[in-house]
Amino acid sequence: MIKVAQLGAGRMGAVHARNAAANQRLDLVALVDPRPDVAGPLAAELGAALRGFDEVLADPEIRGIIVASSTDAHLDNTLSALRAGKAVFCEKPLDLRLATLLAAKGELEAAEDRLFVAFNRRFDPHYRALKARIDGGDIGALESLHIVNHDPATPPPAFIPTSGGLFKDFTIHDFDLAPWLMGEAPVEVFAWASCLIDPQIGALGDVDTAKVLLTTATGRLCMISNSRRTGYGYDQRIEAFGSNGAARVDNVTNTAVSVWGESGAKADRFPYAFIDRYAGAYAAEMDHFADVLDGKASPEAGLLASIASLELAEAAARSVATGAPVRL
């Protein structure tokens, strides 16, 4: 088994640590987190030691580092780990500032075969199956894409100022998904956004509802819909239209149970939290990290995907600000 250590024992940290511990190729030996009250129980549950970051970096037996610290520490932690010769699993985003990322580009590129940035959508079995259908020609040549990415409930207002805003925090998933599914980079972005849900979000300078259009060099069109609140769970759907048919990923339900009553047929709920909807994706991305450590795969996404999606997010924000499409 390959020894790995993890930075961060917060909400996403717990997900990644449990997946690392359950992965039969990985041995999670250490957790690094300044908060022993948070990290201690998790470490105990998983049989990992609480250790310092420097100590972990200096341990030659530890070959991989999972970076699940706070977002603003991701890039520094990643660079430190790469410099120590480790492979890195970095929870998305690598960084929210495009300029900062570009400044580190040279160093990151040099280590690109050890840097995996975990964009979870790409590892969802439903989306992977959709991509396989598209790439396999099941719908002919892809012409357009519709993505619905709606959150169940607005985040707490305190989260907004450090989030990077809707496009960098939330649409970023779609900005990564769309080129991946289309097999082609967008060349122009148009976005409209409103604050329709929570005035507090608007007061903080952010939006909660957006419609984004992307187009590619060959004329493919992509529509993205975002909302911060559905009231009915995590609405996660994709439709792909091609020259010979269409394919879609519909929402999954918690179970296959439906109940028929006076008012009609009622299916079970959709998963509410992203942690539930993408549980399979989180496990699969940890397994991909094992593949990278095993030399069986190059990182599915890394620096370039981070830059490309951030560029789209910044372009979308500019489009909202100027009211005009933005060419990349």
DSSP result, 48-106: -EE--HHHHHH-TTEEEEEE-S-GGGHHHHHHHHHHTT-EEEEESPS-S-HHHHHHTHH
Of residues 92, 168, 220, 288, which one binds its own copies by CB under 8 A? 220
Phi, psi (degrees; rounded to nearest 5) at 83: -60, -30
Query: Residue type at 145?
Result: L
- Specify the stretch interacting with its own copies by CB under 8 A; choose among 66-74, 89-97, 101-109, 121-129: 121-129
Nearer to its own copies, 52 or 245 (CB): 245
Q: What six digits make up the tokens of 52?
A: 């310092």
Nearer to its own copies, 60 or 323 (CB): 323
Nearer to its own copies, 162 or 243 (CB): 243
Site for its own copies in 142-171 (CB under 8 A): 143-144, 146, 148, 150
**Cβ-based neighbour number of residue 92 at 10 Å:** 20
* Cis previous bond, 179, omega within 30: no
Please tell me whether residue 18 adopts helix, strand or coil conformation. Answer: helix
Q: What six digits make up the tokens of 267?
A: 């299916």
Task: Please tell me whether residue 225 binds its own copies under the rule CB under 8 A.
Answer: yes
CB of 164 to its own copies, least distance (A): 22
CB of 237 to its own copies, least distance (A): 9
Of residues 34, 36, 137, 140, which one binds its own copies by CB under 8 A? 140
Nearer to its own copies, 97 or 211 (CB): 211
Of residues 227, 285, 293, 300, which one binds its own copies by CB under 8 A? 227
Task: Please tell me whether residue 291 binds its own copies under the rule CB under 8 A.
Answer: no
Site for its own copies in 3-62 (CB under 8 A): 21-22, 24, 45-46
Site for its own copies in 232-261 (CB under 8 A): 232-233, 235, 239, 241-261
Chain-centroid distance, C-alpha 267: 28
Give, in order, the Cα–Cα distances in Å from 221 to each of 35, 168, 179, 243, 306.
Answer: 46, 21, 11, 13, 22
- Applying CB under 8 A, the site for its own copies has a residue count of 75
Nearer to its own copies, 108 or 320 (CB): 320
Nearer to its own copies, 162 or 194 (CB): 194
Q: What six digits make up the tokens of 142?
A: 């892809």
∠ CA(193), CA(195), CA(316), 5° rounding?
25
Site for its own copies in 52-111 (CB under 8 A): none
Task: Please tell me whether residue 305 binds its own copies under the rule CB under 8 A.
Answer: no
Q: How far apart are CA 182 and CA 85, in angstroms?
A: 34
Dihedral sign, Cα of residue 199, residue 202, residue 208, residue 210: positive
Nearer to its own copies, 155 or 325 (CB): 325
CB of 288 to its own copies, least distance (A): 18
Nearer to its own copies, 59 or 235 (CB): 235
Query: Residue type at 210?
Result: A
CB of 76 to its own copies, least distance (A): 32
Rg (CA), the chain: 20
